Amino acid sequence: MIDDTKHKILHSSYQLFHKLGIRSITMDDIARELGMSKKTLYQHFSDKDEIVKEAIKIHISIIQKTMMDVKKEAKDAVHEIMTTSERMCEFIRGMNPAAFNDMKKYYPEAMKIFQEHQQTFFVKILTDNLKWGIKEGLYRDDIDLELTAYKRMHEVEMGCSSDFFPIKKFNIEYIQVNLLDQFLHGVCTLKGHKLINKYKKIDEN
């Protein structure tokens, strides 16, 4: 159980990383944001690397709970994946792409934690969604489950990186919405396409 001060430090640090990138933020910046001395900061964390790692852990736990909550409430597989995307867009709204790039290049321990989440939890929940969709006749029954799940996982990662999509041309939320739309139209049957339109409130008449 994380004490209140630690939780406050991690929450504020994550917000700074999210908005400005990780590498550009110093321990002085974090202390200033929190209105506490750097000495107090070091009483709870040995260095910024530890803060980055622990902040990512908390963020991942929130994402996982959100995805499980959506899974429980979803009406069908298409509804689940579209609602999950909406929730994830709320998380990434206003995110500086430098944050993901910085983690990938300069914070290997934090990146390893994120990738383990992607390759275990994310792939599992997506594979379950694909199985559900196939069973309902909403997804094509000829798709390769593992390949499709990993492809989707990498799409999400690519959508967070300015290495693939220039910041000046696209924002992260726009990218993720479009990648999901293309993914769904690729795996859905005609029955599934009708549900996409229904949840998008597109009139088919």
Q: Which of 156, 157, 154, 147 shows the shortest CA–CA distance to 127?
A: 147
Predicted pLDDT at 205? 46
Residues in the chain: 205
Domains recognised in the chain with CATH numbers: 52-200 (1.10.357.10)
59: nearest Cα among 19, 14, 103, 122: 14
Q: Do the beta carbons of residue 173 and residue 89 sit within 8 Å?
A: yes
Q: Which of 69, 95, 99 is nearest to 84 (CA)?
A: 69
Q: Is the pTM of this model over 0.85?
A: yes
pLDDT of residue 202: 65
Listed in sequence order, the residues at least 6 apart from 79 whose beta carbon sits closer than 8 Å to its beta carbon are: 195, 199
Q: Is 76 exposed, middle or buried (0-12, 13-18, 19+ CB in 10 A)?
A: middle
Please give the chain's pLDDT, 205 residues, in tens: 567 899 999 999 999 999 999 999 999 999 999 999 999 999 999 999 999 999 999 999 999 999 999 999 999 999 999 999 999 999 888 888 889 999 999 999 999 999 999 999 999 999 999 999 999 999 999 999 999 999 999 999 988 888 888 877 888 899 999 999 999 999 999 999 999 999 988 655 4
CB 120 within 8 A of CB 64: no
The SS3 call for residue 3 is coil
Distance, in Å, from the CA atom of 44 to the CA atom of 7, rounded to the nearest integer, reads: 10
Residue 18: predicted pLDDT: 93
Which pair of structure tokens corresponds to residue 72? 């429980």
Bridge partners, 139 (sequence order): 188
- Alpha carbon distances (Å) from 41 to 5, 47, 161: 9, 9, 30
Determine the Cα–Cα distance for residues 123 and 154; give it in Å rounded to an integer.
10
